Amino acid sequence: MVSVMVVDDHPMWRDAVERDLQAAGHEVVAVASNGREAMARFPAAAPQVVVLDLQLPDSSGVQVTSMMLEHDPTARVLILSASGEQADVLEAIKAGATGYLVKSASSAELIDAVVRTADGEAVFTPGLAGLVLGEFRRIADGPADDPRDQLTERETEILKMVATGMSYKQIAARLVLSHRTVQNHVQNTLRKLQMNNRVQLTRWAIEHGLDEA
């Protein structure tokens, strides 16, 4: 059983997601319809997984993601978005969300994603894998950075397979690796992306003299 918080401004959606999760035996410990409510209820509810819509009326899902992770770094955020605004999705992942799902996913896919997110697995769609590959390409083409920021060949290979719709199981079989190893590689790519984002933010803060405050 996973304790879940659902943040979405469409009541119809919130109810549907809540119903599906409860039917699958999970507990919905809190719901919120905007960023303010979400931040007010998040500390007390302490959910294992937050299912978060990217478009909220008062703040962006990106802001909510970083505020939640600042408050509780062990929190897991699964982005559930209708429109697939590419830039927003990438920003939310860089801010620390570990999963992304489009709203047209079936309820079985949603429940599977919530369980996997709670287990600490990274939930990728092919579209997200393509964006992450593109982002690492931009990092690689930028000013020379820490080689630890770059993807290894294996990680790139696996992300490419995720981006062409292969499941972790299929990838494991094709590369003759264990399922766990494939998962670790995918998680590593997210960790590197989030790390790079923090490094960039810190560098920006130092350049702008914000560290002296």
Partner 1 sequence: MVGLNAYRRDNFEHPTVGLLVVVVLALWTVTAIWLYRDRRRRTPLLLVADLAVVLAALAVTPWVKSPDFNATIPGFYVMGVFFAWAIHWHWRGGLVASALIAAFDLLPRTEVDQGNYGNTFLVLIGGPIVGYLCESLQRMARERDAAERAAAAADERTRLARAVHDGVLQVLAMVQRQGSAAGGEWAELGRLAGEQERGLRSLIRQQDTVPTEPGGRVDLAGALEAMATAHPVRVEVATPGGAVLVDAHVAAETVAAVRACLDNVLAHVGPDATAWVLAQAAPEAITVSVRDDGPGIPSGRLDAAASEGRLGVASSIRGRIEELGGTATVDSGEWGTEWELTVPLA
| Residues at the site binding partner 1, with contacts judged by CB under 8 A | 10, 12-13, 16, 55, 82-87, 90, 102-104, 106-107, 126-127, 129-131, 133-135, 137-138, 141, 160, 163-166, 170, 173-174
**Closer residue to partner 1 in complex, CB, 86/202:** 86
In the bound complex, what is the minimum distance in angstroms from residue 90's beta carbon to partner 1? 6
In the bound complex, what is the minimum distance in angstroms from residue 210's beta carbon to partner 1? 28
**Closer residue to partner 1 in complex, CB, 26/94:** 94
Instruction: Determine how β-strand 49-52 pairs with β-strand 3-7.
Output: parallel
Closest CA to 24 of 91, 103, 89, 106: 106
**Interacting residues of 171 by C-beta distance below 8 A, sequence separation 6+:** 158, 161, 162, 177, 182
Measured distance CA(116)–CA(198) in Å, rounded: 25
In the bound complex, what is the minimum distance in angstroms from residue 71's beta carbon to partner 1? 27
- 132 CB neighbour count, 10 Å cutoff: 27
**Closer residue to partner 1 in complex, CB, 22/83:** 83
**Closer residue to partner 1 in complex, CB, 59/127:** 127
In the bound complex, what is the minimum distance in angstroms from residue 82's beta carbon to partner 1? 4
